[in-house]
Amino acid sequence: MAYSYTLTEEQELLLQSLREWYAQNLDEQKIKGYYEAGGVPEDVQKSYVDAGFGMIGLPEEVGGTEADKLTQLLLTEELSRLSGASLPMASNILAIHDITEFGNEDQIKMVMEYYKEHGKPPFSLAFSEPGAGSDNMNMSAVVRTGADGKMILSGQKTWVSNGGKTDYALVIAKDEDPSRSNNKMSWWLIPMDRKGVKFEGLEKIGNKIMPFGDLFLDDVEVFESDLVGERGKGFFQLMKNFEFERLVCVASMLGEAQAALEDAAKYTLQRSTFEKPIASYQLIQEKLTDMEIALWNTRNQLYECAWRMDNGLDIRLQSSLLKRYGAMSCHKVADEAVQIFGGLGFTTETRVGRIMLDMRGLRIGAGTDEIMVYIAGRMIPKKYANA
């Protein structure tokens, strides 16, 4: 089987219709406003779903349009390139997948109806804790069953994206025993207005279009009907979707970094110093060259990972190498775009500064640069042990 990603006519048409949807619904002024307001209005998100883009990649039985991984990632990349923004529509599908894959019939029905009506998932993903980000096993949120049979959830989650804007939170907690050695944990879909649930926002330095915060769970009663997936299998469920999450994260970074490169490249022709366009200086040409190489490599890696997934091949190693390389490269590209713009790059008159801050956050979210080494670094010796 050889790796190839020539886009099909269908994929080209889909991207063209996305560009048309974008031109009709969004522009830089609106995007800038969403960063200032800390969110994208519901009608815009709904329009994305109504136009069919938000349904691509979801199973047919829930009303989705089946598509391969590459098609889904192409959409994410292009939406991020057009907007130069971390639009929630580019990643909403990840949360929806969690429910269509592991939820029961009632949960899937509720989530899909909400998604179609509001254009966004009804819940945030609340996995990280103050003492457990990279190290999920260290989490201490726990659901304990009392002598009366009641199940009580207690703990704290943090950095929960969109947590203050959703009706539910999808919370992962240990079963019965919070100790590190207990690897049994489960997912619970908890309404935000249930007694004992409280959310408090945190001030972010970037990626302000998607605010995050702390979720306090103070003796919250949970019910069997809140359970998502199998009891005790929460860790496995969490790990299962991490690989595709990394791909979606890099696709969105790639699109944004590409937008920064395009802006910067155009600017080098417009801006003159010492009576010459800055595009004529070798130091600037070197930056553009390295930026182009970094995005070319990231794109090739991303599409190959998609191709591997679409062909049923393992991507544990490749997805961690991609997240490591892609996140650092996209951040570097956006940072160099700021440099090329000079003082203007450090203002909100251009979008490269906001892109650079978005990229910075995504070197931490969806698994840090270092954790990718922790994952890949242990696999590489085994890969070559018998070579």
Instruction: Tell me the site size for ligand FAD, rule CB under 6 A.
Output: 19
Shortest Cβ 371–ligand FAD spacing (Å): 5
- Applying CB under 6 A, among 102, 114, 127, 307 the residue interacting with ligand FAD is 127
Is 45 near ligand FAD (CB under 6 A)? no
- Applying CB under 6 A, among 159, 303, 325, 341 the residue interacting with ligand FAD is 159
Is 207 near ligand FAD (CB under 6 A)? yes
Buried b / exposed e over 209-218, threshold 16 CB at 10 Å, is bbbbbbbbbe
Torsion of CA 99, 104, 106, 112, to 10 degrees: 20
Contacts of 206 (CB under 8 A, 6+ apart): 354, 356, 357, 358, 360, 361
Please report, as residue ranges, which positions from 338 to 377 form the binding site for ligand FAD (by CB under 6 A).
361, 364-365, 368, 370-371, 374
| Residues 80 and 255 sit within 8 Å (Cβ to Cβ) | yes
Measured from the CB atom, the residue of 11 and 140 that comes closer to ligand FAD is 140
- Applying CB under 6 A, among 91, 128, 156, 318 the residue interacting with ligand FAD is 128
C-alpha to C-alpha distance for 74 and 19, rounded to whole angstroms: 12
Is 134 near ligand FAD (CB under 6 A)? yes
The pairing of strands 151-161 and 212-222 is antiparallel
Q: Which stretch binds ligand FAD (CB under 6 A): 10-18, 42-50, 131-139, 342-350?
A: 131-139
Measured from the CB atom, the residue of 125 and 142 that comes closer to ligand FAD is 125
Is 212 near ligand FAD (CB under 6 A)? yes
Could you tell me the sign of the dihedral formed by the alpha carbons of 79, 82, 86, 88, in that order?
Answer: negative
Within 10 A of 235 (CB to CB), how many other CB atoms are there? 17
Which conformational region is residue 172 in: left (phi greater than 0), alpha (psi within -120 to 50 degrees), or beta?
beta
Write out the residues near ligand FAD by the rule CB under 6 A: 125-128, 133-135, 159-161, 207, 212, 361, 364-365, 368, 370-371, 374
